[in-house]
Structure 1
């Protein structure tokens, strides 16, 4: 399957590294590059993309600015955005995913395995949205399930996730200066941290749905978990 990929990054070396990892991962890609928002807009107007990798730091602009442009583009409704950044601040990751990113990868942790997991998860999630629409899931029943979950498990799970992510970040910071740490352990910690971020965003969505006090349409549900 050929994937039409757009990389938005002001660093040419980082764009080339992403392309190299895509090829090492066995992905068949038609790779397009943009160094800034103006070039990005031109690319979006020319063709539709399957995957859009967005650097968080774009000079005077940010990846969130680029994300907003992508999500507002009428011809890119099926594009799957993934944020790339040199920052390890999980607050940035959560904010990006709240605004519509399918995933968030720290550049230092961008490996073949991490890329495959990120792309696979994003595509599977998009397939789930389609299944929800096709099945015309009962909106009132979904909301009832969400409400029971948030009341019974929400507070405890949030606290557990918060402590877990703090612990993972502390271990990773120490490990950066310790050559004896097993690289496999660091990779597993990064995968755990990414999954924990997904859960935080998902719980935010559930809490918002429950708190609105109204029925959620299928289209709204897709937008929230996109």
Structure 2
């Protein structure tokens, strides 16, 4: 600790208090506050935080064990407590440690080095435990946070709703549920990865519409949920939903298709619509409208990027677009369904890995390996029995399946 240790010494013997405070003051590095009773301790804890408490076992009507229990119950992060006793036994020491005391020092033949060591050791252990707890909480939050979309996962959102609706919770808040039913159509016709890119693009747009204090996360594969914990916004929650609907109903370009998303949005207020998290989500979930997804194909290849907003001018230019299913069929005609053996050549031929070519086009192929490994960004692909070796770049990898693109002009 870079600063002086704030130490509260609690003992009903004023002579001993004076002796200990002078003893510790000579050592330096401590700010000592002397308290003659448990009442004085609790009065002071309400206004002054301490790094450590040095407490006598015998405090008159109550012993140090019961006082320590009250301290631990009173504070969310109580300081470590070191017990002092004049006639302690091994049994008393065991009770002290079981009650949460950090250390135990006997008043008999008291040595200042032992006393200072007990206090500093207790503070060091407490700080180490705080650091470990903070790292664990940060790791847990990262596990519950989707770094790709910038939103929390469903488990975190349900846990927060459980906290908000715990017994005795009287807070008013709103739950907004957003369903993107077009995502299922995109996955079916353009593939799973295309659906994920579209979901990520929508999540980015959703984040831009959030206000400070709003908590947003995923709800299932095709939905999102927002917790609005701002009393000022609850009176105008319908206006907020309309604003979200207008901002999020829009077109995106993805691969060779334009996808128009029309999210379904519903809202529920706590406790009016329910007092449980699952009940609030059910009340907020919008009813199906029966509208089909609007997905049309582009004849021109879009600019680089996974998913981008489609401009009105571009949408008008594509007025003669065919349904995406026709574009998908055309792509299937150009793709050869093959099953050939091939070899992945890394760093020349220093590493050779067997694979199967499962789909082949003029621009690339889909490969499958026997066991997962992280493929490099670029490597050579030799198709067995053809004498053909092509330089390829990795476009995607999902488990043992790898999508590659042939490098133009490279043999």
TM-score range, shorter chain: 0.5 to 0.7
Q: Which of the two has higher C-alpha Rg?
A: 2
Question: For residues 127 and 50 of structure 1, do their structure 2 counterparts lie closer, same or farther at Cα, with a shift above 3 Å needed?
Answer: closer
Question: For residues 108 and 27 of structure 1, do their structure 2 counterparts lie closer, same or farther at Cα, with a shift above 3 Å needed?
Answer: farther
Q: Secondary structure at the match of 1:46?
A: coil
Work out the CA distance in 2 between the residues paired with 1:129 and 1:2.
Answer: 19
Q: Secondary structure at the match of 1:70?
A: helix
8 Å CA contact 2:71–2:78 kept in 1: the answer is no
8 Å CA contact 2:79–2:126 kept in 1: the answer is no
Work out the CA distance in 1 between the residues paired with 2:88 and 2:78.
Answer: 28
Aligned to 1:6: 8
User: Which structure carries more strand by proportion?
Assistant: 2
Q: Secondary structure at the match of 1:136?
A: helix
Give per-residue Cα distances to partners, 1:98-143, cap 9 Å, x unaligned. Answer: 11111110012422210222122212211331343244399xxxxx
Query: Following TM superposition, by how much is the alpha carbon of 1:84 offset from its aligned partner in structure 2, in angstroms?
Result: 0.5
Q: Does 1:98 align with 2:98?
A: yes
8 Å CA contact 1:8–1:35 kept in 2: the answer is yes
Q: TM-score, normalised by structure 2?
A: 0.31
Question: For residues 112 and 38 of structure 1, do their structure 2 counterparts lie closer, same or farther at Cα, with a shift above 3 Å needed?
Answer: same
User: Which of 14, 23, 26 lines up with 2:25 in the alignment?
Assistant: 23
Provide the aligned length of Structure 1 versus Structure 2. Answer: 136
Work out the CA distance in 2 between the residues paired with 1:67 and 1:104.
Answer: 13
* Gaps in structure 2 of 5+ consecutive residues: 140-411
Aligned to 1:42: 43
Work out the CA distance in 2 between the residues paired with 1:124 and 1:46.
Answer: 23
Aligned to 2:71: 70
Question: For residues 132 and 47 of structure 1, do their structure 2 counterparts lie closer, same or farther at Cα, with a shift above 3 Å needed?
Answer: same
RMSD across aligned positions (CA): 2.1
Work out the CA distance in 2 between the residues paired with 1:83 and 1:22.
Answer: 16
Q: Secondary structure at the match of 1:7?
A: strand
* Gaps in structure 1 of 5+ consecutive residues: 139-226
Q: Secondary structure at the match of 1:108?
A: coil
8 Å CA contact 1:25–1:113 kept in 2: the answer is no
Work out the CA distance in 2 between the residues paired with 1:50 and 1:120.
Answer: 10
Q: Secondary structure at the match of 1:49?
A: coil
Q: Secondary structure at the match of 1:54?
A: strand
Query: Following TM superposition, by how much is the alpha carbon of 1:3 offset from its aligned partner in structure 2, in angstroms?
Result: 2.1
Query: Following TM superposition, by how much is the alpha carbon of 1:86 offset from its aligned partner in structure 2, in angstroms?
Result: 0.3
User: Which structure carries more helix by proportion?
Assistant: 1
Question: For residues 123 and 41 of structure 1, do their structure 2 counterparts lie closer, same or farther at Cα, with a shift above 3 Å needed?
Answer: closer
Give per-residue Cα distances to partners, 1:118-171, cap 9 Å, x unaligned. Answer: 122212211331343244399xxxxxxxxxxxxxxxxxxxxxxxxxxxxxxxxx
Q: Higher relative contact order by CA 8 Å / sep ≥ 6: 1 or 2?
A: 1
Aligned to 1:53: 54
Work out the CA distance in 2 between the residues paired with 1:32 and 1:111.
Answer: 20
8 Å CA contact 1:54–1:66 kept in 2: the answer is no
Question: For residues 136 and 14 of structure 1, do their structure 2 counterparts lie closer, same or farther at Cα, with a shift above 3 Å needed?
Answer: same
Query: Following TM superposition, by how much is the alpha carbon of 1:24 offset from its aligned partner in structure 2, in angstroms?
Result: 2.5
Aligned to 2:108: 108
Work out the CA distance in 1 between the residues paired with 2:125 and 2:6.
Answer: 18
